[in-house]
Amino acid sequence: MNQKAVYNLIESLDLKPAIGSKLAIFCNSLEKQTTKSNDTSTTSDRSNTKLMNDTDQGILDCLKRLQVIKLTRPILNLCIQSQTRSELNQAKNAGIETVIDIPDPVFKKLNSLDATYEEYLREFTDIKEADAEELNKKFNLVTPPHGPELSLVLTLVVAAFTILAFIMVKAEGMMDSAEAYWGFFIAGILILFGINAVAINLIKLLKFKKNRASIIADAKRKYVETAESKYLKLKQKIEEEGFQIQNIEYSKAAVLKLEEIDQEEREILKRLNS
């Protein structure tokens, strides 16, 4: 044993050996063992020496345990007093999770939150790194304009009805009637609107085909932005829920651990001063 190191340990623990106590006897014994004795001794003497060494080792173990308790107490107090996420992180960095005992249900809940976060992060990463074309096929982000077909069909239907009406009116000899005039006039207007709609939608289709790559890329960007917004909201929600659970449960566990080491410290001190 290193005498100076043990004395420094006793001093750091602010221990004052009571006269006649085990700690006082230990200190006296320590002074006598600063140098190793090479003297041969009887079996009885060696047994007595071993007994003394075992006793000294027990006292030394108690001192080391008191040192651990002294170093542990500030970490526990830091955890108990934490109110913010940064304060709790300070306690974690100090090693609170290696000191306290967390109930299994709390661990399962925290692991469940972590699993949910990891799953959504993986999904978001896959979306972000996916090729625009593959993403478009998977989620049908962009569809080509179908206006030309619809406009053409409606225009042809109106034109067909107009032709049939013209034939019927002419057969009935009603070409000079006001009803025929206004009917054909309205039908003509509808056909013109239909032709115009076909032209407009056809232009849109041609533009889509020409700029398809950039349109799909822009659609992917918007989809990723939406997914990122959802991811950030979920992340914030999980972090807040996780913090609330940890802040409450870690504090409870720290209080119990503090009571435990306080009791242990009292027992060790009682043993040393006996």
Tell me the C-alpha distance between 274 and 264, whole Å. Answer: 15
Amino acid of residue 4: K
What is the pTM (predicted TM-score) of this model? 0.61
- The pair of three-digit structure tokens given for residue 169, joined into one six-digit string: 């009116």
The predicted pLDDT at position 234 comes to 92
- The pair of three-digit structure tokens given for residue 58, joined into one six-digit string: 């027990």
Cα dihedral: 165, 166, 170, 175 (round 10): 100
DSSP state of 34: S
Tell me the C-alpha distance between 83 and 248, whole Å. Answer: 10
- The pair of three-digit structure tokens given for residue 258, joined into one six-digit string: 């503090």
Q: Tens place of pLDDT for every residue, the chain, 274 residues?
A: 567 777 778 878 877 777 777 777 777 777 666 555 434 444 444 444 444 466 778 888 888 888 899 999 999 999 999 889 899 999 989 998 888 988 888 889 999 999 999 999 998 888 888 888 888 788 877 776 665 555 556 666 656 655 655 555 555 555 556 655 566 566 666 666 666 666 666 666 667 677 777 877 888 888 889 989 999 999 999 989 999 999 999 999 999 999 999 999 889 888 888 7
The predicted pLDDT at position 198 comes to 63
The predicted pLDDT at position 43 comes to 44
Tell me the C-alpha distance between 261 and 130, whole Å. Answer: 54
- The pair of three-digit structure tokens given for residue 38, joined into one six-digit string: 């090479």
Residue 154's Cβ-count burial label (10 Å; 0-12, 13-18, 19+) is middle
Tell me the C-alpha distance between 71 and 74, whole Å. Answer: 6
Could you tell me which of 32, 23, 36, 30 has the C-alpha nearest to residue 3?
30
The predicted pLDDT at position 37 comes to 44
Tell me the C-alpha distance between 87 and 29, whole Å. Answer: 45
- The pair of three-digit structure tokens given for residue 132, joined into one six-digit string: 């625009």
Amino acid of residue 251: S
The predicted pLDDT at position 191 comes to 64
